[in-house]
């Protein structure tokens, strides 16, 4: 069901975030995220002179390489466009992510490593959808490994959303051994 029709309005700003996941030939995974901000009008900018309607105010890209355990093995950060010429100077700080695991506590560790004047708000904001893309990209590989290991380990995806709540019908059907609700068969 689509959104309801809006009241009359004027378009001002567009933020596009695009994330993609790739399996590499060497067994690692590349997750790329890009953020592009544009305005619907031309405006003055002290360092760039002006920024034309539709021209990128922000255009920033991250590539994070992870292993099967979602441990970050490499990072590349690029600032293509920004309102200030010094914005790209912060990109080397994103190397601080190398060695971090994407999982519980990731956002806090990122904030500690790249918070305040140590990072770029826009690139740091990209890390949340990038992390979600990493999970989606590696989900089947990680689930196959978990099943093959047959450790009886509870899948980490359980209780991450309404559909996958441990007392719900999806868990009863897909992971009955971890179902906590009434005995339901759908």
Domain residue extents for the chain: 13-152, 154-186
Q: Residue with structure tokens 């740091």? A: 124
pLDDT at 184 over 70: no
Mean of the per-residue pLDDT values of the chain:
93
CB contact burial 69-82 (16+ within 10 A = b; e otherwise) = ebebeebebebebb
pLDDT grade for 1, boundaries at 50, 70 and 90: confident
Please tell me the distance from the alpha carbon of residue 110 to that of residue 114, in angstroms, as a whole number: 6
Q: In the chain, how long is the greatest CA-to-CA distance?
A: 66
Other beta carbons within 10 Å of 125 = 16
Which tokens sit at 146?
A: 């978990």
Query: Does pLDDT of 151 surpass 90?
Result: no
DSSP annotation of 117 reads G
* pTM, to two decimals: 0.85
Alpha-carbon distance of 89 to 85, in angstroms, equals: 8
Mean pLDDT of 80-91: 96
The tokens of 160 are what?
């991450």
113 pLDDT tier (thresholds 50, 70, 90):
very high
CATH architecture for the domain at 13-152: 2-Layer Sandwich (3.30)
Which tokens belong to 151? 């450790």
40 neighbors 11 (Cβ within 8 angstroms): yes
């Amino acid at each position: 069901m689509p959104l309801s029709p809006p009241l009359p309005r004027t378009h001002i700003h567009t933020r596009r975030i695009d994330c993609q996941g790739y399996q590499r030939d060497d067994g690692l995974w590349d997750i790329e995220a890009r953020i592009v901000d544009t305005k619907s009008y031309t405006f003055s900018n002290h360092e760039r002179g002006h920024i034309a309607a539709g021209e990128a105010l922000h255009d920033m890209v991250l590539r994070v390489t992870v292993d099967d355990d979602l441990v970050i093995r490499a990072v590349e950060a690029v600032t293509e466009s920004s309102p200030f010429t010094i914005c790209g100077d912060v990109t080397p700080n994103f190397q601080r992510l190398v060695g971090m695991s994407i999982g519980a506590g990731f956002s806090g560790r990122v904030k500690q490593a790249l918070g305040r004047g140590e990072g770029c708000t826009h690139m740091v904001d990209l890390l949340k959808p990038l992390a979600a893309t990493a999970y989606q990209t590696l989900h089947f590989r990680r689930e196959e490994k978990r099943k093959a290991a047959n450790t009886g380990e509870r899948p980490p995806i359980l209780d991450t959303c309404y559909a996958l709540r441990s007392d719900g019908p999806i868990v009863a059907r897909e992971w009955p051994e971890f179902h906590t609700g009434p005995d339901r068969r759908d």
